[in-house]
Amino acid sequence: MAKSQPIIIYALTFLIITLFLKFFGLLNVDNNELLAYTFIFYGISSVYISFGRNKRLQLFIGTAIFLIGIVFFLISNFAIFSSSGLIFPSTLLILGISCWMLFLDNTNDKAILFVSIIFILLGIIYSISVGAMRVGSFVSSILSITAKYWAIVIITLIIVLLLKRDDKH
């Protein structure tokens, strides 16, 4: 079986399980948030399968999809008055972190490290300059979200363990 095929199967399984939990009232999420979870899960799975295997395009895209899922999640869970204000800094940070993952995959590629640092710094500087980022409120929000969505974390961990098992065979 091709390595990318289990990712799609597990992502669909993840989506079906979360829809099932939502249907029976065990999980209280909207459709945008489910999309975010699916992107996050697909991205994690894609990065897991491509990292260290010279699949740089898949690694870059998987990282970007994961981070886009994080952005969707943040938009769904926070009172963000202007989500359009997140697009520019998020794009810079997503490009920077995706390039950084490429560097981690091949630490000899110093040019990609330089590119990643530039994008990340530009995203952080822009966010700070427009007042969009405050560390204290961000940390407290992450803790409350983790307490609220523990079921999603458990489902993701189980599916990652299944991917590891498939990888050994």
> Could you tell me the residue ranges of all domains in the chain?
1-78+134-169, 84-133
Burial-class residue 66 by CB neighbours within 10 Å (0-12, 13-18, 19+).
Answer: buried
Burial-class residue 152 by CB neighbours within 10 Å (0-12, 13-18, 19+).
Answer: buried
Predicted confidence at residue 167, as pLDDT, reads 61
Predicted confidence at residue 57, as pLDDT, reads 95
Predicted confidence at residue 138, as pLDDT, reads 56
Predicted confidence at residue 47, as pLDDT, reads 87
pTM: 0.70
Predicted confidence at residue 1, as pLDDT, reads 40
Predicted confidence at residue 92, as pLDDT, reads 95
Low-confidence ranges of the chain (pLDDT < 50): 1
Long-range contacts of the stretch 49-55 (C-beta < 8 A, 24+): 49/3, 49/4, 49/6, 49/7, 49/163, 49/167, 51/101, 51/104, 51/105, 52/105, 54/105
